[in-house]
Amino acid sequence: MNKKEYEHGNIQKLLVKICFFFKSINLEISLPSERSESVQLLIPKELDVGNMQIGSIQYGGVKYPLIDKSSINLKYVEVRLKGDFLRKIDKYNEVYNLLQDKDANDWLKYKFTYSKEDIILAKRVATILSSGLEKKYGSEYLTIGIDKSILDLPRQTISSSIMYNQDEAVKVISDILVAQGFNVSRSSQVNPNYHILAAANGKTAKILVRHLQYDYAYKESTLPYQVYKIDAFENLEDQKVKLNDIDFIVGYNFKDKAFACLAIEDFIEKKSRVVHEKQGLRSEFYNSWNELKNYFNK
């Protein structure tokens, strides 16, 4: 049978339009079974786990049982809305003043025809329901089908210029190294190739101190631990100049009071490296001086 035989002109378009109006205010539209003649309007599960039915939409002017679908003459679309639901969202009187009819079970009802006035009326009813749902459920209603993380905007980011101080970081790392038993001297130059010279067992190690900053590429990560990165060099030219004059890069994070010590070999190909707090990439260097101790013990 050709699909055109199932197209019934403006009244069918009207039913689809009305379904669309209610769908656009986040109500669920459901046809419960193949034999059902009534479209159900449901509260979305995000607001009601029971998926409560609060209304129905169906054709008028159809005599059942329907034998010849191609010969029917649809006359109108009837919408019914549950009175208890309308009272719950404090919109019963407002909707009743528009529809002006109800059944014995206190469901408000109206027979919509394909006219400009009735289409406007259907839109207005949907708008009133939306207003009541928003008032009752707030952002839970407004964010249905939307990534709820938009509620976190604008995001507060940690400014590296505020959280990180280069001179203080060098001092902190120097103090930690002294506590670890190393002999330490700090460079007095304004922009040195390295900040700290550590000595032990007759050997020295040149250390450049950098910011152990949060890696915001992982800000949406579900990992149960922090991921950091160290930008060792400002650019490739800076990398070429300093690379051969450094033995270790040590990153420090003031907020977490954490550090990571990496050998310069990790930065030969890249000027930045990622460090995981636990389990992941370079986690063995997090809050560990093993690389530096191994260097002095060779």
Outline where DSSP puts E strands in the chain: 28-30, 39-42, 53-60, 76-82, 107-112, 183-186, 196-200, 203-214, 227-231, 248-253, 258-263, 272-276
pTM: 0.54
Per this entry, what is the length of the chain? 298
| 263 inside domain | yes
**Co-location of 67 and 174 in the same domain:** no
**Co-location of 123 and 174 in the same domain:** no
Task: Determine whether 292 is exposed, middle or buried from the number of CB atoms within 10 Å of its CB (0-12, 13-18, 19+).
Answer: buried
**Co-location of 171 and 62 in the same domain:** no
**Co-location of 7 and 145 in the same domain:** yes
| 94 inside domain | yes
Q: Which residues pair with 165 in a beta bridge?
A: none
pLDDT tens for 195-232 read 999 999 999 999 999 999 998 888 878 888 899 999 99
**Co-location of 126 and 183 in the same domain:** no
| 135 inside domain | yes
pLDDT of residue 282: 92
Average of pLDDT values for 175-180? 94
pLDDT of residue 60: 85
Higher pLDDT, 37 or 83: 83
The last residue of a domain, from among 150, 179, 195: 150
Q: Is the per-residue pLDDT at 295 higher than 90? A: yes
The backbone torsions φ and ψ at residue 91, rounded to the nearest 5 degrees and listed phi first, read: -130, 15
Measured CA to CA, the distance from residue 6 to residue 70 in angstroms comes to 6
Given a contact cutoff of 8 angstroms between Cβ atoms, the answer to whether 247 and 295 are in contact is yes
| 77 inside domain | yes
The alpha carbon torsion through 49, 144, 97, 11 (nearest 10 deg) reads -100
CATH number, residue 228: 3.40.1350.10
Structural domain including 123 reads 3-150
The last residue of a domain, from among 128, 150, 172: 150
**Co-location of 12 and 57 in the same domain:** yes
**Co-location of 211 and 262 in the same domain:** yes
CB proximity list for 139: less than 8 A, separation 6 or greater: 151
pLDDT of residue 8: 59
What's the number of domains the chain is made of? 2
Measured CA to CA, the distance from residue 211 to residue 165 in angstroms comes to 8
| 155 inside domain | no
**Co-location of 110 and 206 in the same domain:** no
pLDDT of residue 298: 82
Compute how many other C-beta atoms are within 10 angstroms of the C-beta atom of residue 110: 20
**Co-location of 72 and 139 in the same domain:** yes
The residue to which tokens 């002294």 are assigned: 178
